A = this chain, B = another copy of it.
């Protein structure tokens, strides 16, 4: 079999929607999870469209990974979120989609960049969801562009492999936790996967899972600081195992680290098929969400320090601190390179 000819990537895809009351918290700030869900829908459409141009089984693009993403400015009810997605790299069995989210105030005409994200998809056969299909290669504008994409591909591949076997144990909180401890704000939700949560091959959309994760993380953050909180960033999320229709999803959030003005929450998603206990519970996803606390002028305000109990929490706190310092340094470097 000869390799398929490289071809132009499918043209970029735009989707937009007015932000509604249910998309936001009671202060009118649109949930980070709402934005993540729109981003993933755009990526799924453009990825699926691209991968069905070769002869072979019909397939759907399944989300494998979202790179670390930052929420650059708050979005409000009544604004229009514009999501633009384009395919920026292809490997044999995966493709990278880069997505921008602009928030437009249609009353004042102002537009602002709300989010930039990069997602990796793999095409799964509709006949057999575990069969991964070939991705038609795209043409690159230049050799550098191709090379940079290849580097991004290698980096994410290494990271994905590393996290593949890392299973996080969900810790039960104590019965009467003290305020501002980890156990005090720990929260879980469960969700029975319904038809509207799923793709054509009856797997949960990655965006649906991320929305649930953001919801739990938001509850944890609000419980810790009792103020208006918003999602500031999400660390890279790897989707190792699919969640199928008829599963019950348990999403647990737990504070790992608190800086002066931010809270890091680890979110773990377990799935278990309701009717087949022999295929027991498995861990589907885990990720770190960072939230900040806002005053009524949408300015970040200090958050209460976290009371650490025990070695385990201490270790998590230090790891969170390292991530925090690492990200801060990266942001600073990015700023300087722009000057």
Q: Which of A126, A196, A215, A226 has the most CB of B within 10 A?
A: A226
Given contacts A48-B106, A107-B126, contact A218 B26 (CB under 8 A): no
Selecting from A1-9, A151-159, A271-279, the interface stretch reads A271-279
Question: How many copies altogether?
Answer: 3
**Is A337's CB within 8 Å of the partner chain B?**
no
With a cutoff of 8 Å between Cβ atoms, the chain B residues found around residue A276 in the complex are 52, 58, 226
With a cutoff of 8 Å between Cβ atoms, the chain B residues found around residue A14 in the complex are 14-16, 188, 190
Q: Say whether B223 contacts A53, CB under 8 Å.
A: no
**Would you give the shortest CB distance from A112 to chain B, in whole angstroms?**
15
Selecting from A17-25, A95-103, A160-168, the interface stretch reads A17-25
Count A interface residues, CB 8 Å. 60
Considering only residues 272-305 of chain A, those with a C-beta below 8 Å from chain B are 274-277
**Is A228's CB within 8 Å of the partner chain B?**
yes
Q: Say whether A218 contacts B18, CB under 8 Å.
A: yes
Which of B195, B196, B219, B222 is close to A16, meaning CB atoms less than 8 Å apart?
Answer: B219
Given contacts A13-B16, A276-B58, contact A226 B192 (CB under 8 A): no
**Is A310's CB within 8 Å of the partner chain B?**
no
**Is A322's CB within 8 Å of the partner chain B?**
no
Given contacts A14-B190, A188-B14, A215-B18, contact A226 B49 (CB under 8 A): no
**Is A78's CB within 8 Å of the partner chain B?**
yes
Q: How far is the CA of A104 from the CA of B245 in the complex (A)?
A: 25
Q: Say whether A274 contacts B15, CB under 8 Å.
A: no
With a cutoff of 8 Å between Cβ atoms, the chain B residues found around residue A226 in the complex are 106-109, 274-277
**Would you give the shortest CB distance from A125 to chain B, in whole angstroms?**
11
Considering only residues 34-54 of chain A, those with a C-beta below 8 Å from chain B are 41, 44-45, 48-49, 52-53
With a cutoff of 8 Å between Cβ atoms, the chain B residues found around residue A15 in the complex are 14-17, 188-191
**Is A200's CB within 8 Å of the partner chain B?**
yes
**Is A142's CB within 8 Å of the partner chain B?**
no
**Is A175's CB within 8 Å of the partner chain B?**
yes
Q: Say whether B52 contacts A107, CB under 8 Å.
A: yes
Q: Say whether A22 contacts B25, CB under 8 Å.
A: no
> Can you name 8 extra interface pairs (CB under 8 A) apart from A15-B189, A21-B194, A189-B189?
A15-B15, A107-B227, A172-B175, A187-B248, A189-B191, A192-B215, A222-B274, A223-B248
Interchain residue pairs with CB less than 8 A apart (22): A15-B16, A15-B17, A21-B194, A22-B196, A25-B78, A26-B245, A45-B192, A49-B80, A49-B104, A52-B274, A52-B275, A59-B107, A60-B274, A80-B219, A106-B219, A107-B222, A109-B223, A190-B219, A200-B246, A219-B274, A223-B274, A226-B277
Interface residues of A (CB under 8 A from B): 13-18, 20-22, 25-26, 41, 44-45, 48-49, 52-53, 58-60, 77-78, 80, 104, 106-109, 126, 172, 175, 179, 187-192, 194-196, 198, 200, 215-216, 218-219, 222-223, 226-228, 245-246, 248, 274-277
| Shortest 3 CB-CB contacts between residues of A and residues of B | A26-B78, A21-B195, A21-B21
